[in-house]
Every structure is written in structure tokens, then in C-alpha cells.
Amino acid sequence: DAAALADAYTELRTAEHRLQLVDLAPAHVLPTDAEALDRLAAAPPTAMAATKSLFYKLDMLSFLDGMSAGIVANADARATPEFRAGVERFMGRARE
């Protein structure tokens, strides 16, 4: 069926595009120094878990559904105690 073939082609091209984006990631994106890695390791576990969950979901979603999932994840993150504590720390530094 032509529609099924067209859908399969679109999915294949989307997957190929995502793979190419991974390959094109600049080397400087991930920290290599111990201090930066320690900061990542000290990140709130709920934030890290939410980020990983969103990344896993995005693999199976269309662009629009992925955007919607990102919006929901952002709203959920802003409702956590860790987010509020981070904003308070930031505001304290901004006043200094």
C-alpha cells in the first residue's frame, strides 16, 4: 500500500536524521574536567531522571509530540522542590 510505504519512508528518514545529529554533536558539549563532572554528578536525581526519561521518549515521538512532551516535562520540573531551591540559590547570587 502506497500510504504505508510513504509512512515507512518518513520514519526511516527521521531516524537517519536523528542519527546524523548525534554524529554531528560538537566535542565541547560534554565536560571533560573533574569539576564539571562533579557538578553533573551532584545534580538532583529527579532532574537527571526526568531528563533521561524525556530523551528516551523523544526517540519514539514525532516532532510535534516531542515538543509537547518537552513542554510537559518543563512544567513538571518547575513544580519540584529542587527547582524552587535552584531558583532561590540563583536569586540569592543575583542580589549580591
Listed residue (48, 51, 69, 55) closest to 21, CA to CA = 55
- Whole-model pTM: value is 0.51
Three-state DSSP string of 48-95: HHHHHHHHHHHCCCCHHHHHHHHHHHHHHHHCCHHHHHHHHHHHHHHH
**Which pLDDT value is given to residue 79?**
92
Q: What does the pLDDT profile of the chain (96 residues) look like in tens digits?
A: 778 777 787 787 777 666 665 555 555 556 667 777 787 778 788 888 888 889 889 989 999 999 999 999 999 999 999 899 888 988 887 776
All cell numbers assigned to 56: 528516551
Specify whether the CB–CB gap between 54 and 69 falls below 8 A. Answer: yes
Domain boundaries, the chain: 2-95
Helix axes 63-78, 45-58, angle to 10 degrees: 170
The 8-class DSSP code of residue 6 comes to: H
Please state, in angstroms and rounded to a whole number, the distance separating the CA atoms of residues 94 and 96: 6
Please state, in angstroms and rounded to a whole number, the distance separating the CA atoms of residues 59 and 75: 20
